[in-house]
Amino acid sequence: MEITSQIAKVLNINSNQINEVLKLFSEEATIPFIARYRKERTGGLDEDQLREIETLNNYLTLLAERKETVLKSIEEQGKLTDELKEKILAADKLQEVEDLYLPYKPKRKTRGTIAKAKGLEPLANFIISNPNFKGDFESILKEYINKEKEVLTIDDALNGAKDIIAEMISDNAEVRKIVRESLQTDSNICSTKTNKKAEENSKKTDVYEIYHDFQIEITRIKPYQILAINRGEREGFLKASFQFEKESLLGRIYNEHFNVKKTFFEEILRETVSDSFGRLIQPSIEREVRSYLTEIADDHAVTIFASNLKQLLLQPPMFNKIIMGIDPGYVSGSKVAVIDKTGKYLEGQTIYPHPPQNKKEDAKKIIIKFIEKYKVELVAIGNGTASRETELLIADLIKENNLKCHYLIVNEAGASVYSASPIAKQEFPDLEASQRGNISIARRVLDPLAELVKIDPKSIGVGLYQHDVDQKLLSKNLDDVVMSCVNYVGVDINTASSSLLTYVSGLSKRIANNIVKYREANGRFSDRNQIKDVSGVGEKLFEQAAGFLKITSGENPLDSTFIHPESYEATERLLEMVEISTTAINEKGLLVKQFIEKRGVEKIANLLNIGVPTLEDIIENIVKPGRDPREDMPKPILRSDVLKIEDLEIGMTLKGTVRNVVDFGAFVDIGVKQDGLLHISEMANKFVKNPSEIVSVGDIIEVKIKSVDVQKHRIALSMK
């Protein structure tokens, strides 16, 4: 079955759609571009479906290439039969191909290969092929004694033959399949603590206390449990193992491989099966199953991280605000910075309101001076060390001085990474690294997406076990999310940083830098066609990027929309039909929608010689030109007073911001020092399989206090 048909069958998508997508991929079209501007060709497939096609196509291509390599290798050995070839070609998983190839795969020196070198393979074949043997076996064994080949006794001969048979059993694809499926469906995973590490570091081992005597059915283990056990084992605090019905499995292997009720060699063969299983099969298959489980856990963790990251990146911006950013700290002080409505750094200073300096009054004077001097409307406080103490300070200031500004707590994860990065040094060459994080915190409120793209997504802190999962897989998925978000929102080409431009469809880091250099040398872009004048931008790249690069207050009002330049002619003809000009779309865009509703979308699309999806997109952008899709997202909670954990009472209802979503629930900022845990069982009056079905990062939700432990700083929340 060709790759297109296989993808269509697995994803339940029409083969013609798959063919079109694969053609577009071969033309180096990006997924955001295909999803937005090639709907007619793909039948309106969204980005998630396109990525599924991409992933499956890559896998099936790799599978086809591996089959070709394996068939060539076996054929060169002169061992390729029609039956084996058919099995390899019919395999739909890489693991199946590898299992079939195993008996023919060149091996390193093993007990089996050593025995073959001693001439004992005919003896092994004799034992397998003669179940009804009734003669003098000892005399046959004596024939294989060869002092030159170090076969000194009949036991040497028999043991060598058994080693060969053991490897034959281990290399058998059906045997491996039986063991693999048994472990994947009918085993338990167990973990115990390792005493040596526990003695060395009793505090650290407490982290894994729940896994010190842990056992669970393999089909019920959660992804986060797999990752926790993996980490504990890697750090030397845990030892993991499988528990299963070994004797039953050995019986199945014997019956499968030898398919005889009774044989002269039964005792020898059962011993060999046991040896093969314990020495070769079990360790190998257990590694495979652990790897399989880890792969599932990695995929799950990466999916959760990607979902959280997407919600975080798409938080609504707080445009047109003068913002003060504070990166709180104790010994090294709290760093304060003020930015203007465009994100430009105005002024900053370090204050020392907390221990050990305790210069609270001096700190208040500096903050008040900045607020009054620049008319600060929002104070953004990083949520790290000394965050709540700083919150208390700002809340007191607002109350004491009757200020009109508000504050909010901002996730500062990755701010220190940004501070020391080449991007930060380039933006603020005259500031020390410690003075840059506070600017980043303020800018995360002004425009979260534009600021967070400067930071490695793995450092943003909205995942679980992100340092334990497959880093290549994680990086690709997170980069895909950032690219998707940037192109979903669009970019103002006249204000965007090179970091933001890098994620625009079709643009590389080099081209993004060239755009910034062009802007610096020639001033603002006034027309999308000017993008072609940038060094390195050809027709193909322009096609991929132009629709996502917006120009506000340019020569052509359409340049501020997602309407692609290739559709300008059709758009202008449509506007002529309605008798309005492009300059009037801000005021009269609704007339276009009403005009089409009266005459029918398909009829107008045919007149304009464009597809219905393209026309619908044109209408949407004319009705709301230049609209930021993040406008519909819930705005952050702004505060002017502070709440302490001691103020909380069971049953109290509060509004909170979801900071992180994990397998077992969500962490919610309700305005006290410690985020509360909203357990998955408390999310609804029904069974919830996945917390992401109910909440997302950045959601503003109403919760009740279920329990409070002041000593342990634990807060349990409920949405019931």
334, part of any domain: yes
The CATH number of residue 427's host domain is: 3.30.420.140
Strand order in the sheet with 238-243: 213-217, 188-193, 238-243
Q: In which band, very low, low, confident or very high, does the pLDDT at 466 lie, cut at 50, 70 and 90?
A: confident
Can you read off the two tokens belonging to residue 80?
């390729």
- Residue 481 resides in a domain: no
Residues 149-179 have pLDDT tens digits of 999 999 999 999 999 999 999 999 999 999 9
Q: What's the pLDDT tens digit per position in 137-147?
A: 999 999 999 99
402-407: which pairs have CB atoms within 8 A and are 24 or more residues apart?
Answer: 403/371, 404/377, 405/371, 405/376, 405/377, 405/378, 405/379, 406/377, 406/378, 406/379, 406/638, 406/639, 406/640, 407/378, 407/379, 407/380, 407/381, 407/638, 407/639, 407/640
Is the pLDDT at 505 greater than 60? The verdict is yes
| Dist CA 69 CA 146 (whole Å) | 39
The pairing of beta strand 665-669 with beta strand 676-679: antiparallel
Please tell me the predicted confidence (pLDDT) of residue 361.
Answer: 95
Give the pLDDT band of residue 202 (cuts 50, 70, 90). low
80 and 117 together in one domain: no
The pLDDT of 553-567, averaged and rounded, is 96
Q: Look up residue 352 and give its two tokens.
A: 């020392």
Q: At what angle do helices 246-258 and 173-186 cross, to 10 degrees?
A: 160
* Mean per-residue pLDDT of the chain: 93
Please give the Cα distance from 251 to 255 (Å, whole number).
Answer: 6
- Say if residue 599 is in the same domain as residue 503: yes
Q: Which residue has the tokens 């973990």?
A: 191
Domain around 659: 645-718
Per DSSP, 104 falls in state G
Longest dimension (CA), the chain: 107
What pLDDT is stored for residue 245 in this prediction?
Answer: 95
pLDDT given at position 204? 58
Look at residues 532, 621, 547 and name the one whose alpha carbon lies nearest to residue 582.
621
Instruction: Identify the CATH number of the domain in which residue 503 sits.
Output: 1.10.150.310
Res. 199 pLDDT band, cuts 50 70 90: low
DSSP sequence for 464-485: SSTTTS-HHHHHHHHHHHHHHH
CA distance readout (Å), 241 to 217, 230, 283, 303, 632: 12, 11, 10, 27, 49
Question: Which is nearest to 169 in space by CA: 30, 623, 161?
Answer: 161
Domain presence at residue 548? yes
- Sign of the Cα pseudo-torsion (522, 528, 533, 535, in order): positive
Q: Is the domain of 702 the same as that of 658? A: yes
The tens digit of pLDDT for each residue in 211-251 reads 999 999 999 999 999 999 999 999 999 999 999 999 999 99
- Residue 165: which CATH number? 1.10.3500.10
> Residue 684: which CATH number?
2.40.50.140
Residue 308 lies inside a defined structural domain of this protein: no
Ramachandran angles phi, psi of 452, nearest 5°? -70, -20
Is residue 240 classed as helix, strand or coil in its secondary structure? strand
Which neighbouring-strand residues pair with 700? 657
- At 107 the pLDDT is 85
pLDDT value, residue 87 = 96
Distance CA(74)–CA(84), nearest Å, equals 10
Reported as half-sphere exposure (CB side, CA atoms, 13 A), residue 400 has a value of: 10
pLDDT at residue 205, rounded to an integer: 54
What's the number of domains the chain is made of?
5
Whether residues 70 and 88 fall in one domain: yes
Q: Would the CA dihedral through 469, 475, 480, 481 be positive or negative?
A: positive
Q: Are the C-beta atoms of residues 427 and 419 closer than 8 Å to each other? A: no
Which residues fall within 8 angstroms of residue 206, CB to CB, at 6 or more apart? none
The residue from 599, 631, 663 where one domain ends is 631
Query: 417, 423 in Cβ contact below 8 A?
Result: no
The domain boundary, picked from 389, 424, 446, lies at 446
CA angle 594, 600, 603 (to 5 degrees): 130
Angle at 197 between CA 195 and CA 203, to 5 degrees: 105
Asked whether the predicted pLDDT for residue 198 surpasses 60, the reply is no
The residue behind tokens 């469809």 is: 505
Q: Token pair of 506, please?
A: 């079709």
Together in a domain, 331 and 287? no
Any idea which of 49-63, 89-103, 465-479 has the lowest mean pLDDT?
465-479
Answer yes or no: is pLDDT of 298 > 60: yes
Q: Pick from 631, 664, 695: which residue ends a domain?
A: 631
Mean pLDDT of 437-449: 96
Crossing angle for the helix pair 266-276 and 121-129, to the nearest 10 degrees:
120
Asked if pLDDT for residue 386 goes beyond 70, the answer is: yes
Compute, in degrees rounded to 10, the torsion defined by CA atoms 209, 212, 216, 221: 50
pLDDT digits (tens, 9 = 90+) for 487-501: 999 999 999 999 999
Same domain (yes/no): 626, 656: no
Q: Is the dihedral of CA 47, 50, 56, 61 positive or negative?
A: negative
Decide: helix, strand or coil at residue 252.
Answer: helix
What would the pLDDT profile of 612-655 be if each residue is shown by its tens digit? Answer: 999 999 999 999 988 899 988 778 888 877 778 888 999 999 98
Q: Which two tokens stand for residue 702?
A: 């109403």
What stretch of H or E contains 515? Answer: helix 509-522
One domain, residues 623 and 554: yes
pLDDT of residue 200: 61
With respect to residue 126, please indicate whether it lies within any of the assigned structural domains: yes
DSSP category for residue 184 = H
Q: Which residues pair with 350 in a beta bridge?
A: 335
DSSP characters over 428-473: -TTS-GGGTHHHHHHHHHH-HHHHHTTS-GGGS--SSSTTTS-HHH
Per-residue pLDDT reduced to its tens digit, 684-697:
999 999 999 999 99
Do residues 221 and 346 both lie within one domain? no
The string of pLDDT tens digits covering residues 327-383 is 999 999 999 999 999 999 999 999 999 999 999 999 999 999 999 999 999 999 998
Task: Write out the H or E segment, with its range, that includes residue 523.
Answer: none
DSSP code string of 185-216: HH-EEEEEE-HHHHHH-HHHHGGGGGGTEEEE
Record the tokens describing residue 280, joined without a space: 């070769």
Same domain, 622 and 699: no
Note whether residue 472 is domain-resident: no
- For residues 526 and 606, membership in a common domain is answered with yes
Burial of 689 (0-12, 13-18, 19+ CB in 10 A): exposed
Instruction: Read off the pLDDT band of 196 (50, 70, 90).
Output: low
CA R_g for the chain: 33
Asked if residue 256 is part of any domain, the answer here is yes
Tell me whether residue 161 is exposed, middle or buried, using C-beta atoms within 10 angstroms of its C-beta: 0 to 12, 13 to 18, 19 or more: buried
Residue 309 lies in a domain: no
Say if CB 432 and CB 328 are below 8 A apart: no
- Residues 540 and 649 grouped into a single domain: no
The DSSP secondary structure of 601-623, one letter per residue, reads HHHHHHHHTS-HHHHHHHHHHHH
The token duo for 236 is 């030397």
Pairing of strands 549-550, 491-492: parallel
293 shares its domain with 168 = yes
Hey, what amino acid is at 539?
E
Q: How far is CA 668 from CA 4, 16, 444, 583, in A?
A: 45, 46, 19, 46
User: With bands split at pLDDT 50, 70 and 90, how would you rate the model's confidence at 195?
Assistant: confident
**Helical axes 47-76 vs 82-90, angle rounded to 10°:** 160
